[in-house]
Amino acid sequence: MFIGRTAEMSELNRLYGTGSFEMPVIYGRRRVGKTRLITEFIQGKKAIYFQARRTNAEANLHGFSQAILAGSVGAAGVSFRSLDEAFD
């Protein structure tokens, strides 16, 4: 059951509906439901979810590339060369 996040969900829906690129930062203490908030919010929406790991930038860029390309046909194993390239 997902309860008690009405204000946060409203703000995320407002940002999602602007028609502009939005990248909200969600932060807080551990184990307060940040990941659950995100996964509940993106259900049924066109979205990319990627959680960076405590590793090097190259590994995170590769993981981010895979998250972006997950729905692309024939893109397996492709990795962007930079975050700028990934966002472009």
Give the pLDDT of residue 71.
66
Number of Cα atoms under 13 Å in the Cβ half of residue 25: 2
Q: Which domain holds residue 83?
A: 48-88
83 and 61 in contact (C-beta within 8 Å)? yes
Q: Give pLDDT tens digits along the chain (88 positions).
A: 778 899 999 999 999 999 898 888 899 999 999 999 999 999 999 888 889 999 999 999 999 998 888 866 656 667 899 989 988 8
Give the pLDDT of residue 76.
64
Q: Does the predicted model carry a pTM greater than 0.85?
A: no
Total domains, the chain: 2
- Residue 88 and residue 55 share a domain: yes
- Residue 39 and residue 11 share a domain: yes
- Residue 2 and residue 40 share a domain: yes
Give the pLDDT of residue 36.
95
Q: For the chain, what is the total number of helices (H) and then of strands (E)? A: 4, 0
